[in-house]
Structure 1
Amino acid sequence: MSQHGEITQSKCQQDEFVETIEAEEAGKPTSSVHVDASPKQDQALQLIEDAGYSTTLTPENNKRVLQKIDLRLLPILLSIYFLQQLDKSTLSYASVFGLVEKAHLHGKMYSWLGSVVYLAQLIFQPVVSYLLVKVPMGKFMAASVLLWGISLSCMTAANSFAGLLVCRLFLGIFEAGIAPAFIAVTQMWYRRLEQPVRLGSWYAMNGVVNMVGSLITYGLGHIHSSVFEPYQIIFLFFGLITIGVSVAVLLFMPDSPTTAKFLNEEDKLVAIERLRMNQQGIESHEWKWDHVKEACLDLKSWFWFALMFTISIPSGGITTFGPLIVKSFGFNSLNTILLNVPFGAVQLIATMGGAWLATYWKKKGPVLALLCIPPIAGCVMLLRITHDAAHKGPLLAGYYIISVYPGITPLIYSWSAANTAGETKKKVTTGILIVGQCVGNVIGPTLYTTEEAPLYHRGLLSNLALFCILFCLILLNMGYLTILNKKHEQQRVAAGKDAKVVDHSMNEVGAAQTDKEGMPVQQVANDNAFKDLTDWQNEDFVYVY
């Protein structure tokens, strides 16, 4: 079969796409695929209708367009997330350089400065979910970066608990949409096979922040100024950089594959065709209340909530109190900052290693369960080893082992993103997930208090229990997704289709598709990919566990 056959360009319309998997994999020219692309449907349909044809996806054009997408999107996403995590971490860095003493923070004041960011994000999530459906993605992200950069810069002038609290509150509001937007961008641009590594790559900026951010802060800490305290220099420096990056985001971040200026018309069609087998759609600006209802009634939405809640409690506590925990081992301020660098390196390796393993296994649940084990061991070490100068090495080792936990969060993001369809449902489900993350991060720092130094027994013990609970929740969610796949098999049989379908979104383009006996597997001819159906409504949807 020719991979570059003549493309039919007739203007006839039909209600459904008809395309066999043999045409997609071997490069056979597709039949006319024109549809009634009403404003309420996915914008991908409108682009195909305007072009007059749909293209054929081949390994060659898939690789070429994917490379273009990566080169444009990843530098922007990585830069934004690096700055977001760096800006959040400025509080813990500032605590090492005298913020607690200068601002007269006592009791749980410092803990609440860590929690209020997530409390603001929690309250703002319903608004974020709506805006992500209605507002172009690139403009939304640029505005968010600009406003949180201004908020961080304003912390330079805050020298009291009240002033710092207000600034941190606005920082949380303007950062509230970043993670949901990044998840939406990943769903909008990447096949499900590609999502774990892309999600992992921007989330891995947590580890880079702990390395690079610690070194930058180490340098800033040596600046002697008669005007600013060291912690004020930290706030101002990173705030101004964030404001500058917002301009680049506005200029270069595309809103969607259907409007991206860095892709020509043929490449836009390839970008859309790449996502057909995701069965998740690409972009629709209609808010659908039936999707909202389904997201709230879907048990897996609450599994995502529970998973994120459970991992975010220890994450919030360790992020806020990590440098103070290291300092409690008997190190001075500058050494404490430097010793955070290996913590970041372990985070980076765990995050990208977990993403790679999930891609290789084509399963996320088993990888998540595996990543729970090192943090459990690390918590046990910090709880059982005596905190004195003679045990600095083992204590640091325990702290670094705990730092595997950041690899868990992006895989939960990816797990949720891969198992939800329908434009509004995707945004609402992500909102529910982020609410769980925010609640966990609000609670996390409150389990630690400066009065408990150097042992931090209550915080570490609660973290240990939560990592164990997380392991159990992962297994339960895997079981539930298996049940949903069985239900969709029954629905396909009732609709006259084959019970078993191959999830091509989890295979390389051009890979041979066979069943367990090595026989070719027939793909459904009725294509629901761009009808803005939810995963419940679309019997062709395959859940990934």
Structure 2
Amino acid sequence: MEAEKTDSEGQAPKATDVDAALEYLNHENITVMTEIDEKALVRKLDWTIVPLMWACYNLQYLDKTLINYANVMGLQEDTGITGNQFSLLATLFYVTYLAFEFPTGYLMQRLPTAKYLGANVILWGLIITLNSAAKNWAALATLRTLLGCFEAAVAPALILVTSMWYKRSEQPARVGFWYVGTGTGTIIGALTSFGFQHYESEIFTPWQIMFLLFGLITIAVGILTMIFLPDSPMKSRLTREEKIWAIERLRENQTGIENKHFKINQVWDCFTDPQTWLIILMTITMNIPNGAVSSYQATIIKGFGYTSKETALLSIPSGVVSCISVIGGGISSAKFNARGPVIIILLLIGGILGGSLLAFSDATNKPALLAGNYLTNVIGAALPLVYSYSAANYAGHTKKVTMNAVVLVSFCAGNIIGPQTFRDSDKPQYLPAKIVIVASTAVAAVTTGVLMAYYAWENRRRDRLHLGLEHKKNSEFFDMTDRENKEFRYRW
């Protein structure tokens, strides 16, 4: 049967206003999906979409932190750069990452999402490959700047893909499954760094070979992404019946699937929404320590008095802690249908406990310092739940794309500030930077509590004002924002 189109006023919306999913359903006969059918479909999606998303995010995190491992493998000595110049390399990446978020968000809405993502993966793989030929500060700075331009696409694209395929209750776990690439990236990078430190050659240094290897792997994954990751359910390799089911099961999200028409009113809606500014503050403050940890993990461990090879091996538990906390946080959030409480717990463990051990333990107490260093990796596990907020609580395709960019701009801002707290004058303990980790995480935890209170208040307000509201057929696919759709309720 044909899906009927009426907007919240009872009028037929324009073709450009509705979601592409509704246009697809208008030309298809709806078939009944049983619980067994849905479980089989979700299992199929999990095995075909999530692994590619993990591969992209794993390489995104690994590639941007390779310079961290290269630094303890002799990068500074071989290229003649100073410690402050190395800190600036971390900053340059996030400056262009930030600058490209809104342009890449616009392009992502206008172009096929998965193809755009795959193209960017290929391009940043090329940049990583060229790092093997860098001989001085100018070359490293140029390549680091370009890397930020292309990696800017990955997180917003994956958030968008997740919201296209999964229910709001399913999203935290799926975001966690691809975001766990931060942990696996750490483990792979540490093992690779250790292995290549045993490599000797008069032609290439160990860190040059490392950049060359992962650059080529990234290019290959980008090609696979362009071929196998679908741009939307409507354009996927699913059967006709499975496409309909994939769309129909997302009605309850009330966030739509895809609309290629840019709507400036939805951009305004995003920036005048109170939740946006709370999420901005929360994301910046939780990523100040993340920027420090991701760029200086190996440097901090080496500062405890370990050799370069020992540092590489001692970095592995950081990845393990990251994997456990990300998966645990995602599954817990999905099981209890609550993101905020899990975020606060992760921040308390990683930032307050881990940061305090790192900052205030005696300089000779290596076990406590290492434990604190490892626990700070728990902070990063809160970020995929912030991504999940963006996917679940923002409706209207342009508003979703805009908010994804806003979250990543905030992520960049925190990561730009973080590395700058590590100054040469504070070596080797970097005490001021470690204190910043504790303080900024505390602010993020308090802001999360305020955001939860706002969602609860807004849901109660809507229940009171719109009691007995009549449901408008197919309004789930009218590409309305969450503030326009009076039936929308926020997940906290």
What is the TM-score when the length of structure 1 is the normalising length? Answer: 0.87
Q: 1:180 aligns with which of 153, 156, 159?
A: 156
In the alignment of these two chains, the number of paired residues is: 488
For residues 473-492 of structure 1, what are the structure 2 equivalents within 5 Å? Answer: 473-492=447-466
Alpha-carbon distance, 1:490 to partner = 3.3
Q: Does 1:425 align with 2:415?
A: no
Separation in 1, partners of 2:223, 2:407: 29
Q: In the alignment, is the contact (CA less than 8 A) between 2:284 and 2:411 conserved in 1?
A: yes
Are the equivalent residues in 1 in contact too, given 2:289–2:418 (CA < 8 A)?
Answer: yes
User: CA offset at residue 370 of structure 1?
Assistant: 0.9
Say if 1:317 and 1:445, in contact at 8 Å, map to a contact too.
yes
SS at match of 1:192: coil
2:235 to 238, 254, 259: 259
Structure with greater proportional helix content: 2
Q: Match of 2:389, as an amino acid?
A: W
Q: Is the 8 A contact 1:155 1:232 kept in 2?
A: yes
- Counterpart of 2:249 (choices 274, 277, 280) is 274
Measured after TM superposition, the shift of residue 172 of structure 1 is 0.4
Shift of 1:155: 1.1
Q: Secondary structure at the match of 2:232?
A: coil
SS in 2 for 1:529: helix
- Would you say the 8 A contact 2:19–2:478 is kept in 1? yes
The answer to whether the aligner puts 1:130 opposite 2:77 as a matched pair is no
CA distance in 1, matches of 2:78, 2:159: 39
Instruction: Report the equivalent of 1:400.
Output: 374
Paired letter, 1:148: W
The alpha-carbon deviation at position 37 of structure 1 amounts to 7.8
1:379 to partner: Cα distance? 1.4
**Aligned pair partner of 2:271 in 296, 312, 331:** 296
Q: Which amino acid aligns with 1:243?
A: I
**How far is 1:218 from its partner?**
1.4
Q: Deviations over 1:25-77 (max 9, x none)?
A: xxxxxxxxxx87824421111111111x2233431111111112111101111
Letter in 2 for 1:299: P
Paired residue secondary structure (1:329) = coil
1-structure distance, mates of 2:253, 2:482: 10
Instruction: Measure the CA separation in 2 of the matches of 1:302 and 1:73.
Output: 31
Residue 356 of structure 1 corresponds to which residue in structure 2? 331
The match for 1:536 among 483, 486, 489 is: 483
Q: Does the CA-based 8 Å contact 2:200-2:206 persist in structure 1?
A: yes
Question: SS of the residue aligned with 1:128?
Answer: helix
- Aligned-pair identity in percent equals 35
The Cα shift of 1:175 comes to 0.4
- Give the secondary-structure state (helix, strand or coil) at the position aligned to 1:403: helix
Give unmatched runs, 5+ long, in structure 2: none
Which of 243, 247, 250 is the equivalent residue of 2:226?
A: 250
- Provide the rounded CA distance (Å) in 1 between the counterparts of 2:328 and 2:294: 21
Q: Classify the secondary structure of the residue corresponding to 2:234.
A: coil
- 8 Å contact 1:44–1:282 — kept in the other structure? yes
**Structure 2 residue aligned with 1:334:** 309
Deviation at 1:159, TM superposition (A): 1.5
Larger Rg: 1
1:424 Cα deviation after fit = 0.2
CA contact (8 A) 1:489 1:539 kept: no
Measured in 2, the distance between the counterparts of 1:322 and 1:107 equals: 15
Aligned to 1:371: 346
Question: C-alpha root-mean-square deviation of aligned residues, in Å?
Answer: 1.7
**2:192·2:210 contact (CA, 8 Å) conserved in 1?**
no
Is the Cα contact below 8 Å between 2:132 and 2:208 reproduced in 1?
yes
Q: Give the structure 1 partner of residue 210 of structure 2.
A: 234
Aligned residue in 2 for 1:416: 390
Distance 1:16 1:268 in 2: 23
Describe the superposition over 1:225-284 as per-residue Cα deviations: whole angstroms up to 9, x where unpaired: 1111111111111111111211111111111001102x0110000000110000000011
Unaligned runs of 5+ in 1: 1-8, 19-34, 499-523
Structure 2 CA distance for aligned equivalents of residues 292 and 384 of structure 1: 44
Task: Return the match for 1:14 from 4, 7, 26.
Answer: 4
Q: For residues 217 and 332 of structure 2, what CA distance do their matches in structure 1 show?
A: 34
SS at match of 1:489: helix
- Give the 3 Å change call, closer, same or farther, for CA 329–107 of structure 1 in structure 2: closer
Instruction: Give the counterpart letter for 1:288 in structure 2.
Output: K
8 Å Cα contact 1:218-1:338 kept in structure 2: yes
AA paired with 1:441?
N
| Most deviating of 122-131 and 442-451 | 442-451
CA distance in 2 between counterparts of 1:491 and 1:165 reads 55
Moved segments of 4+, more than 6 Å: none
Matching residue's letter, 2:483: W
3-state SS, counterpart of residue 258 of structure 1: helix
Does the 8 Å CA contact 2:191/2:312 hold for their aligned counterparts? yes
- In 1, Cα distance between the equivalents of 2:248 and 2:474? 12
Q: 1:463 aligns with which of 437, 451, 454?
A: 437
